[in-house]
Amino acid sequence: MNKVVRDVEEAIEGIKSGMTLMLGGFGLCGIPEKCIDALSKRPKITDLTCISNNAGVDDFGLGLLLKNHQIKKMISSYVGENDEFERQMLSGELEVELTPQGTLAEKCRAGGAGIPAFFTPTGYGTEIAEGKEVREYNGKKYILEESLVSDFSIVKAWKGDTKGNLVFKATARNFNPVMAMAGKITIAEVEHLVEPGELDPNEIHTPGIFVHRIFEGKNYEKRIEQRTVRKS
Amino acid sequence: MGITKEQIAQRIAQELQDGYYVNLGIGIPTLVANYIPDGIDVTLQSENGLLGMGPFPTEEEVDADLINAGKQTITTRPGSAFFNSADSFAMIRGGKVQLTVLGAMEVDQNGNIANWKIPGKMVKGMGGAMDLVASAENIIVAMMHTNKRGDSKLLKNCTLPLTGVNCITKIVTNLGVFEVENGSFVLKERAPGVSVDEIKAATEGSLMATDDVAEMKF
């Protein structure tokens, strides 16, 4: 089966209004910027549920879809860098499910691994635990959290081969591998697409079985949110 | 009154032990990295997926793919490792990180902490804070003793939505070092030049303090 798609347009084919998407990245680091940009140019795709740790900034990343009102619901852990997001949330236009970061990661990992729910200590005794089953193990309290899967997971890798095997760079890895696992269809955009055999099997982060479509993106912007330097 | 934010960080750095894996939150906790004592080998964990965080990069070293949990550009130290978000929180929930230092809006005398939400005002999200406080054995809160209005942040009961319950054991503020024991804050050290009475006046929660409590040393 050929997983390589011609371009970003072919990659996002089949994404429809009302679907649930997972999008990798932490802040703007490791986000699938080509696919997000392409989705923002299809404004008729609306009512999306987007699962992503953050919501981009006003004019980049998921902020582009928010500005177009393409997102109905966000499932995220931290959304502090986006004024439009805050405005839509406070006005009730946007539904938001704030989820602790580790719980969010585990919901994706478990969803991809065929585990429908799990007990975690995170959030016990807080408003996150409201309505959730509590169990005690060895004297400590845990809450039941349900896993997540997506219609499409969209991830960004540094290198990938035509079999879908992926290698991530530095902290751009973040949520990408676990979201890749949890997609009914997983799209990978990569900076370098290579032939089978060019990547060392010892160094693959995401095995190709989790990836259904792959393409090489050009001219990545990789915007930096907090450029912080020391004097050399 | 009391010590500076840098001195709060400096005092917390005295708690570090050789071989510790440490997670430092945003704000005053980040400054702790500047005061790691000589001869102590500490590995900094950044929950977005890095063990072995180094200093900020030079202009030439800046890499958009290498950031910390505060989304700042960063560097790695020799022997560092990258991993995905599920592995990162496996380390945290699994109790592998020996010390967590984080800021707070409120803590109370039962060890509860609130630092993620002001209803109707601030709705940015909890990020990794709930995971960190739910599992760490050893959590130090680093914060100013009072808020901008001058109200105590050490309370009988937190008023804001909680981040975690019964999880805070030590607090370092500009006025002193406190431990939470049996439903009270216990003053362990006071900031230089600050009296026990001044600390009592600035603390809403129950405070146990002896008159001969020692001054912090730097």
Average the pLDDT over A191-202 and give the result: 98
Contacts (Cβ under 8 Å, ≥6 apart) of A100: A77, A122, A123, A128, B126, B127, B128, B129, B130, B131
* pLDDT recorded at residue B120: 80
The answer to whether residue B60 is catalytic is no
Average the pLDDT over A69-74 and give the result: 97
CATH superfamily for B5-215 is Glutaconate Coenzyme A-transferase (3.40.1080.10)
A168 with B82: Cβ contact below 8 A: yes
Is the pLDDT reported for residue A84 higher than 90? no
- Residue A1 CA to residue A10 CA, distance in Å, equals 16
Among the partner-chain residues B64, B72, B84, the one whose CB lies closest to the CB of A173 is B84
* pLDDT recorded at residue A177: 98
Mutation target to probe the B interface, by most B beta carbons within 10 A, among A75, A86, A101 is A101
B158 touching A (Cβ < 8 Å): no
Among the partner-chain residues A77, A89, A121, the one whose CB lies closest to the CB of B123 is A89
Beta bridge partners of B179: B170, B186
Residue with tokens 């005690």: A136
**ipTM higher than 0.95?**
yes
Which residues in chain B are closer than 8 Å to A81, comparing Cβ atoms?
71
Which entry of B47, B179, B189, B215 is annotated as an active-site residue? B47
Among the partner-chain residues A125, A169, A225, the one whose CB lies closest to the CB of B71 is A225
* pLDDT recorded at residue B64: 98
pLDDT (tens digit per residue) in B18-48? 999 999 998 899 999 999 999 999 999 999 9
Structure-block tokens of residue B197: 């009475």
Contacts (Cβ under 8 Å, ≥6 apart) of A105: A175, A178, B84, B85, B86, B88, B89
Average the pLDDT over A72-79 and give the result: 96
Residue type, A119: F
For residue B134, is it left (φ>0), alpha (ψ between -120 and 50) or beta? alpha
**CA geometry: angle B81, B82, B86, nearest 5 deg:** 125
- Residue A191 CA to residue A120 CA, distance in Å, equals 36
- Residue B208 CA to residue B7 CA, distance in Å, equals 23
- Residue B185 CA to residue B177 CA, distance in Å, equals 10
Mutation target to probe the B interface, by most B beta carbons within 10 A, among A26, A74, A159 is A26
B84 with A176: Cβ contact below 8 A: yes
* pLDDT recorded at residue A231: 85
Which residues in chain A are closer than 8 Å to B74, comparing Cβ atoms?
228
| Cα four-point dihedral sign B43, B47, B50, B53 | negative
Mutation target to probe the A interface, by most A beta carbons within 10 A, among B47, B63, B65 is B65
**What's the distance, Cα to Cα, between the start and end of chain A in Å?**
50
Contacts (Cβ under 8 Å, ≥6 apart) of A209: A164
Nearest CA to A89 out of A70, A72, A64 is that of A72
Among the partner-chain residues A105, A108, A171, the one whose CB lies closest to the CB of B82 is A171
Please state the pTM of the whole predicted model.
0.97
Which residues in chain A are closer than 8 Å to B112, comparing Cβ atoms?
125
B212 touching A (Cβ < 8 Å): no
Q: What residues of chain B score a pLDDT lower than 70?
A: none
pLDDT (tens digit per residue) in A5-28? 999 999 999 999 999 999 999 999
* pLDDT recorded at residue B135: 86
pLDDT (tens digit per residue) in B113-136? 999 999 887 778 999 999 999 988
A102 with B128: Cβ contact below 8 A: yes
* pLDDT recorded at residue A89: 87
B134 with A123: Cβ contact below 8 A: yes
User: Where along chain B do its domains lie?
Assistant: 5-215
Let me know how many helices (H) and strands (E) chain A has, helices first.
Answer: 6, 11
pLDDT band for position A80 (cuts 50, 70, 90): confident
Which residues in chain B are closer than 8 Å to A23, comparing Cβ atoms?
none
Average the pLDDT over A176-182 and give the result: 98
State how far residue A227 is from chain B, nearest Cα, in angstroms: 6
| Cα four-point dihedral sign B193, B196, B197, B200 | positive
pLDDT band for position A143 (cuts 50, 70, 90): very high
